[in-house]
Structure 1
Amino acid sequence: MSAIEALKDRYPGAVTFKFGDSSALSSALVSLVRSGRKVASCGALSDYENGEPRPVVGRRDIVLAWDGSPELVIETVEVVQCRFEEVTEAMALAEGENDDLEGWRKDHRDYFERNGGFSSEMQLVWERFVLLEDLAPKG
């Protein structure tokens, strides 16, 4: 049984996903979750309309490293759908990547432009989560 299969046995219904769109970004975001600074994330609604499972409160997810190995298990505790321009500073800061809303807007605009397009009117799915398990080897 693979590590991911074993985790899916422990967390029935868990979905796997990777943060970011590159190895470096993925690793940085996983580190932010581990540190407790990142407790939220968001994605374009259009990504979920193309078959990616949409977050729902209570769902547990297995966060993968860029190479596909399991890193973390998280549980969604809040989901908000809103336009990009409606993201509040509190929501942006919960993502742990920036020190203010303007930094969040710039970085996320760049991300969405790289990944299918950006509009200030675009719909986002924002989720808050809790870390259930850190799968890093204990040393």
Structure 2
Amino acid sequence: MKPPAPYEDAVTFQFGDSPELADALLALVLAGTKTATCGALHHFNDQEPVPAVGRRDVVLDGQGRPACVIETTSVLIQRFDQVDEAFALAEGEGPYDVWRAEHIAYFDRNGGYTPDMMLVCERFRVAEVFDRNS
């Protein structure tokens, strides 16, 4: 499903690596709990380029439907073991130790984890929410 105008050419993505996780993380975004996210630098490519401040991306739900638009407010590329507690808490998924354990498991499932792996750490704000019931 294509995003509505003026976002039809925007970068689109889902949080997580399963429909269930995509929906759970999206719910945190829509509730205002999750205002940050990170990904392994080596996973970014032409289809999902590294975020840039001011860029607006469309977040898809677990069924692939456009759910909202986020606007990147900051980007920091750093090692996994350099991520601080403030950033981990902004991801909205629990305290730092839970964030760390869950992200190690996620990266292990998706190409491998190392403490010195480079992450793209993005902070964002919700710019628009779409009606997915129509």
Residue of 42, 57, 61 corresponding to 2:57: 61
Give the distance between the partners of 1:25 and 1:51, measured in 2 at CA: 21
Counterpart of 2:78, as a letter, is C
Q: CA deviation at 1:113?
A: 0.2
For normalisation by structure 1, the TM-score amounts to 0.89
- Of 34, 39, 48, 2:35 maps to 39
Matched, 1:109 2:107: no
CA distance in 2, matches of 1:95, 1:128: 9
Contact 2:38 2:122 in 1 (8 A): yes
- Which structure has greater helix proportion? 1
**TM-aligned CA deviation for residue 56 of structure 1:** 0.5
**Greater shift in the superposed pair: 58-67 or 129-138:** 129-138
Deviation at 1:55, TM superposition (A): 0.4
Give the deviation of 1:51 after TM superposition: 5.6
The structure-2 alpha-carbon separation of the partners of 1:16 and 1:94, relative to structure 1 and needing over 3 Å to count, comes to: same
- Cα deviation, residue 114, structure 1: 0.4
State yes or no: 1:132 paired with 2:127: yes
- The Cα RMSD (Å) is 1.9
1:30 lines up with 2:60 in the alignment: no
AA in 2 matched with 1:124: L
CA distance in 2, matches of 1:50, 1:104: 28
- Is 1:13–1:60's contact at 8 Å kept on the other side of the alignment? no
8 A contact 1:13–1:59 mirrored in 2: no
Task: Give structure 1 stretches of 5+ with no counterpart.
Answer: none
Q: Which residue of 2 aligns with 1:93?
A: 89
Structure 2 residues without counterparts, runs of 5 or longer: none
Normalising by structure 2, we get a TM-score of 0.92
SS in 1 for 2:44: helix
